[in-house]
């Protein structure tokens, strides 16, 4: 099963300020704001929704095609992805723009001041899927909105099944754009809050959404995963227990990576959710979206512990 993952490829620059922003700001001078915070720590992390999903699939032994746009400054990042099983032939390298970058400073109250530079991501809308040949599934993850709409439209025109994963873009897309991204999807991925945004912005109720997509997958944090299909009972899958909690960024991307990989293996919805949930647990135990350690034997042992020996037995033949 050949899966293309379209989405952002970015780096995160995470700074720490050992203090409180509110103590450095003068309320009556905010219209003339000019302030510098001395950071005590800097961490540079690989990120981007498309890259995170593709990385997780590569770790599990798939070879997903990553489709997106970066700048010339991303050479090392692309090498990293290729070394972890990702086909980077679908990545466009901009001649003029730098790669997308998120820079954020966090204070001792966990307040944040950040900025996102889309950079080369703006050129993703110029990427056509047809030159990449036959595709069995296209994941449309957060990206330049024009790129998301173009990839979705092309999938409909060419009859390619697609997974709608609008995620954080739902906060700034209008109802018409969301409808265009969701209608006809083979899979619709959202978390519980994002599912509410889909309802509010499109005007669709839950029954109408199920009329328009084949499978709706909603994550509920510690409450697990709910899978809905028209005319069928809701399938609920619990999360895989974590040894410890480090940081949640990238958990949803890892779930999608595991789910899509298990689907490519030919496993059913329940097993796919279980594989996704366990890969997500790997991320929540680690700081960084692509920093987790993976070992097939340990993965199988944890899968058996969380979901039973039958689950591990079905997954075992597919793991590298």
Distance of alpha carbon 163 from alpha carbon 190, whole angstroms = 11
Distance of alpha carbon 70 from alpha carbon 82, whole angstroms = 15
**C-alpha to C-alpha distances, 263 to 57, 257, 271, 274, 301, nearest whole angstrom:** 11, 10, 9, 11, 20
Q: Determine whether 84 is exposed, middle or buried from the number of CB atoms within 10 Å of its CB (0-12, 13-18, 19+).
A: middle
* Residues 225 and 237: beta-carbon distance below 8 Å: yes
* Residue 53 C-beta-side C-alpha neighbours within 13 Å: 32
In angstroms, how far is the first alpha carbon of the chain from the final one? 16
Distance of alpha carbon 139 from alpha carbon 261, whole angstroms = 12
Q: Which of 83, 253, 309, 310 is catalytic?
A: 253
Residues 6+ apart with CB under 8 A from 285: 242, 243, 244, 245, 246, 292
**C-alpha to C-alpha distances, 211 to 49, 74, 185, 197, 204, nearest whole angstrom:** 27, 41, 11, 18, 10
Distance of alpha carbon 87 from alpha carbon 243, whole angstroms = 32
Letter string b/e over residues 168-200, b meaning 16 or more CB atoms within 10 A of that residue's CB: ebbeebeeebbbbbbbebbbbbbbeebbebbee
What is the three-class DSSP state of 164? strand
Residue 81 bridge partners (DSSP): none
| 107 among known catalytic residues | no
Active site amino acids: 253
């Amino acid at each position: 099963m050949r899966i293309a993952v379209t989405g952002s490829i970015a780096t995160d620059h995470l700074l720490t300020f050992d203090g409180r922003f509110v103590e450095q700001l003068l309320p009556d001078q905010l219209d003339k704001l000019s302030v510098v915070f001395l950071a005590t720590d800097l961490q540079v992390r690989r990120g981007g929704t498309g890259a995170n999903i593709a990385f997780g699939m590569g770790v599990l032994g798939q070879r997903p095609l990553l489709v997106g746009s970066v700048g010339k400054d991303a050479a090392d990042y692309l090498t990293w992805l290729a070394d972890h099983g990702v086909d980077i032939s679908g990545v466009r390298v901009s001649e003029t723009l730098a790669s997308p970058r998120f820079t954020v400073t966090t204070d001792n109250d966990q307040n944040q001041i950040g900025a996102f530079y889309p950079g080369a991501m703006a050129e993703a809308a110029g990427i056509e899927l047809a030159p990449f040949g036959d595709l069995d599934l296209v994941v449309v993850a957060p990206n330049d909105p024009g790129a998301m709409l173009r990839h979705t439209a092309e999938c409909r025109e060419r009859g390619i099944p697609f997974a709608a994963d609008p995620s954080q873009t739902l906060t700034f897309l209008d109802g018409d754009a969301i409808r265009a991204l969701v209608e006809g999807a083979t899979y619709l991925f959202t978390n519980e809050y994002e599912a509410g945004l889909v309802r509010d912005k499109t005007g669709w109720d839950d029954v109408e959404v199920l009329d328009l997509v084949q499978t709706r997958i909603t994550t509920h944090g510690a409450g697990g995963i709910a899978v809905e299909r028209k005319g069928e009972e809701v399938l609920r899958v619990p999360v895989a227990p974590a040894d410890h909690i480090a940081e949640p960024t990238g958990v949803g991307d890892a779930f999608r990576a595991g789910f899509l990989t298990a689907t490519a293996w030919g496993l059913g919805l329940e097993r796919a959710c279980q594989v996704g949930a366990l890969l997500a647990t790997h991320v929540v135990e680690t700081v960084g979206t692509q920093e987790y350690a993976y070992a097939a034997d340990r993965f199988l042992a944890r899968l058996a512990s969380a979901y039973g020996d039958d689950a591990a037995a079905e997954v075992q033949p597919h793991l590298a």
